[in-house]
Chain A
Amino acid sequence: AQSVTQLDSHVSVSEGTPVLLRCNYSSSYSPSLFWYVQHPNKGLQLLLKYTSAATLVKGINGFEAEFKKSETSFHLTKPSAHMSDAAEYFCVVPGGYNKLIFGAGTRLAVHP
């Protein structure tokens, strides 16, 4: 069965410093993987998706993620945090027919 684990419930960075949000997945095969972002009082917006075409995936707003099969990881990174990046981030894996399995989320705080 597929599952995802987000290793940090909260991450705090200073504006202009790198961002790393960690996600490990469990799957019996090479899965598709998504990162979504949720800003306060908003729905979830797709940041990027991995579908096995390339292990390094670039998304919107300068985010990218690298699929590492040997480590079963799909960590989300950004070289330089902006105040507008403060939000909650979800690592997501398709869980079979029509379903998504969500991680518990990582809340990113960005300080001036």
Chain B
Amino acid sequence: NAGVTQTPKFRVLKTGQSMTLLCAQDMNHEYMYWYRQDPGMGLRLIHYSVGEGTTAKGEVPDGYNVSRLKKQNFLLGLESAAPSQTSVYFCASRRGVGNQPQHFGDGTRLSIL
């Protein structure tokens, strides 16, 4: 019963490098989300998806892209990493009916030098 799995757990990048964060859920949830968490700011929504093949912008989408080619996977890409993107990234998923709570992964700690 894995729930929401994020890979990698840690990564250090140089400014300008690109990378992709992977989120996988095994609960057949329709909705998936990417957040970033910074000290004193709670979680801020980057992008989200309401189903396979659909994505939408959240609160802080600039500098990120996402894709949802399969229902169980939601990818977050950084095309050209910047130090301001140093953060902890969380993926979440939930059922698409009603005000259901979101289920979170354990996070990816990303440092941009």
Contacts and interface: CB of A to CB of B under 8 A. Distances in A.
Contact of B90 (A32, A44, A51, A103): A44
Given A102-B42, A103-B42, A44 B31 contact: no
Contact of A45 (B42, B50, B56, B104): B104
User: Which of A36, A49, A90, A100: most chain B CB closer than 10 A?
Assistant: A100
B22 interface: no
Given A94-B99, A99-B48, A99-B58, A42 B106 contact: yes
A85 B43 CA distance: 21
Contacts of B77: none
A41 B107 contact: yes
A2 to B, nearest CB: 12
A20 to B, nearest CB: 20
A42 B9 CA distance: 11
B41 A104 contact: yes
B106 A41 contact: yes
Given A43-B107, A99-B58, A104 B50 contact: no
A49 B94 CA distance: 14
B4 interface: yes
Give the 7 A-B residue pairs with the shortest CB-CB distance, closest first: A43-B104, A102-B42, A32-B99, A44-B104, A43-B106, A46-B101, A102-B43
Interface of B: 4, 31, 33, 40-45, 48, 50, 56, 58, 90, 92, 99, 101-107
Given A34-B101, A99-B45, A99-B48, 20 more contacts: A9-B40, A36-B104, A41-B106, A42-B106, A43-B90, A43-B105, A43-B106, A44-B43, A44-B104, A45-B104, A46-B101, A90-B42, A98-B56, A99-B58, A102-B42, A102-B43, A103-B42, A104-B42, A105-B40, A105-B42
